[in-house]
Amino acid sequence: MKIGFTETVLRDANQSLIATRMPLSVFEPILEKMDQAGYYSVECWGGATFDSCLRYLDEDPWERLRIIKAKMPNTKLQMLLRGQNLLGYKHYPDDVVRKFVQHSVKNGIDIIRIFDALNDIRNIEVAVDETLKCGAHASGAISYTTSPVHTLAKFAELCKEMQKMGVQSICIKDMAGVMSPKEAYDLVSAIKDKVDLPLVLHTHCTTGLAFMTYLKGIEAGADVIDTSISIFSGGTAQPATETLAYALEQFGYETGLRHDVLKDVNDFFKPYFNECLATGLLDPTVMGTATEALDYKIPGGMLSNLISQLKSQNAMDKFPEVLEETPRVRKDMGYPPLVTPLSQMVGVQAATNVLLGERYKSIGKEIKAYVRGEYGRAPGEIDQELKKKILGDEKPIECRPADLLEPEFEKTKAMLGDRAESDEDVLSYIAFPQVAEKFFADREKKMQNMARYSIEAIE
Ligand code: CO
């Protein structure tokens, strides 16, 4: 029996521990080595990497991907895609989603993990379809959460629908690190009963459950796990690659991993880890174990947002009340998974309800949009009174939100003209307009400077 390993140091661990600030120049020298490690895949793109490249690192994300591909010809490169939202939180029209997928594959991506925050399958269908058309591997991910409407049967049904769409693997994506060993065992068993596809487990060490969760998930039949090289593992990131390989191999599982290579990879990242600690880029508190998320059923990141919100309003005495109000708001909203941006929306509304001393006296505009159906279908029933209060006589959107959007790619391309040097530039602009605009301008300036230097050199 073989267990595949997806290495996350370049994407999720990088994003979870150091806010995705690892530049290509840091990890480029180790890519050829990583290529020999025997990973099932290396997650290296998507998520926040794209925004971070343009916004903070002065890097073209597409160029980063091409360089990784050139140095890792033997390893499957993986990215995370938020379905119809691509790398952000708003819905993009279908032509943009298709172009984005096409260029991701063309520039080097082999596996696209596609999810929707609400598990509304309509929001992933176009991305899945295009991934398959491009000949890449589409992995359908479910956003893991617990609630009365998120039953094992419902999750298994969702996976079956994704299989019908043509996904080649299923991923259970526990972004908050709250899936327990028992829940993993039961969920993997339930899915494996209904769906004959490779199953990937994704979690974080935040609450300390992750190693056990993976082990029980594997006992129930999971095929692939997401891990990070040990120096950049643990805390809010994934469990350590080497540790899990060590433990699983004793049980007789094959991992396909080369331990000598993993050691070199780990040694390579050690000085950079220390540098991150020294500069403060890495806050040591993210390396600890925080079990509050288990007590309150609220993800760690959301909990710290709530605390800082209350502190800023000098209202920490209301914290217990807000903790009680949060699950009530979530219930009113039909139990959305508490992932970005829904975690923030639910948290802010719960705090507002408590601080104003009256429920839904003031309602955030994102919550209104959600209740109108602009994010997709809620997992459960939205509270009738809340619906009435927000919608009045207006009808919620029943269709897939992107059905209401006009094509955007060609229009944007024409608008950008010379400023976009490629279709990839157009996509960068559509994803993050202001950031991309500034990136293009800086790039132009750099090119002019370079031209000037070369003329001076000739003279
Ligand atoms: Co994650």
Which pLDDT belongs to residue 296?
Answer: 82
Rounded-to-integer distance, Cα 214 and Cα 202, Å: 9
- Distance between Cα 182 and ligand 1 center (Å): 20
- Distance between Cα 20 and ligand 1 center (Å): 12
- Distance between Cα 413 and ligand 1 center (Å): 33
CA distances for 278 relative to 182, 230, 271, 274, 407, angstroms: 39, 19, 10, 6, 47
Rounded-to-integer distance, Cα 45 and Cα 68, Å: 10
- Distance between Cα 150 and ligand 1 center (Å): 20
- Distance between Cα 15 and ligand 1 center (Å): 9
* 459 residues of the chain, pLDDT tens digit each: 999 999 999 999 999 999 999 999 999 999 999 999 999 999 999 999 999 999 999 999 999 999 999 999 999 999 999 999 999 889 999 999 999 999 999 999 999 999 999 999 999 999 999 999 999 999 999 999 999 999 999 999 999 999 999 999 999 999 999 999 999 999 999 999 999 999 999 999 999 999 999 999 999 999 999 999 999 999 999 999 999 999 999 999 999 999 999 999 999 999 999 999 999 999 998 899 999 888 887 887 788 888 888 999 999 999 999 999 999 999 999 999 998 899 999 999 999 999 999 999 999 999 999 999 999 999 999 999 999 999 999 999 999 999 999 999 999 999 999 999 999 999 999 999 999 999 999 999 988 888 777 666 665
Fold of 4-279: TIM Barrel (3.20.20)
Tokens 């980063």 -> residue: 64
The residue among 12, 5, 7 whose CA lies nearest residue 206 is 12
Give the list of residues 6+ apart from residue 105 with CB closer than 8 angstroms, or none. Answer: 112, 131, 134, 135, 136
Which pLDDT belongs to residue 457?
Answer: 64
- Distance between Cα 454 and ligand 1 center (Å): 45
Fold of 285-403: Cyclin A; domain 1 (1.10.472)
Which pLDDT belongs to residue 297?
Answer: 79
- Distance between Cα 272 and ligand 1 center (Å): 22
Q: Delimit the domains of the chain by residue range.
A: 4-279, 285-403, 408-458
- Distance between Cα 416 and ligand 1 center (Å): 34
- Distance between Cα 11 and ligand 1 center (Å): 9
- Distance between Cα 8 and ligand 1 center (Å): 9
- Distance between Cα 404 and ligand 1 center (Å): 30
Q: What angle do CA 80, 27, 9 make, to 5 degrees?
A: 40
The residue among 175, 163, 152 whose CA lies nearest residue 12 is 175
- Distance between Cα 239 and ligand 1 center (Å): 11
Rounded-to-integer distance, Cα 11 and Cα 47, Å: 7
Quick check: 27 and 10 in contact, CB under 8 A? Answer: yes
- Distance between Cα 175 and ligand 1 center (Å): 4
3-class SS of residue 178:
coil
Can you spell out the DSSP letters for 353-401?
Answer: HHHTTSTTSS--HHHHHHHTTTT---SSPPPHHHHHHHHTTPPPP-S-G
Can you spell out the DSSP letters for 81-149?
Answer: E-GGGTTSSS---HHHHHHHHHHHHHTT--EEEE--TT--GGGTHHHHHHHHHTT-EEEEEEE---STT
- Distance between Cα 412 and ligand 1 center (Å): 32
Rounded-to-integer distance, Cα 239 and Cα 206, Å: 10
CA distances for 206 relative to 142, 185, 237, 282, angstroms: 19, 19, 7, 15
- Distance between Cα 317 and ligand 1 center (Å): 32
**Domains 4-279 and 285-403 equal at CATH topology level:** no
CA distances for 158 relative to 97, 132, 340, angstroms: 22, 19, 21
Can you spell out the DSSP letters for 185-243?
Answer: HHHHHHHHHH--S-EEEE--STTS-HHHHHHHHHHTT--EEEEB-GGG-STTSPPBHHH
Crossing angle of the two packed helices 423-431 and 94-106, in degrees rounded to 10: 130
- Distance between Cα 328 and ligand 1 center (Å): 26
Start-end of H helices in 220-341? 241-250, 259-279, 292-296, 300-312, 319-332
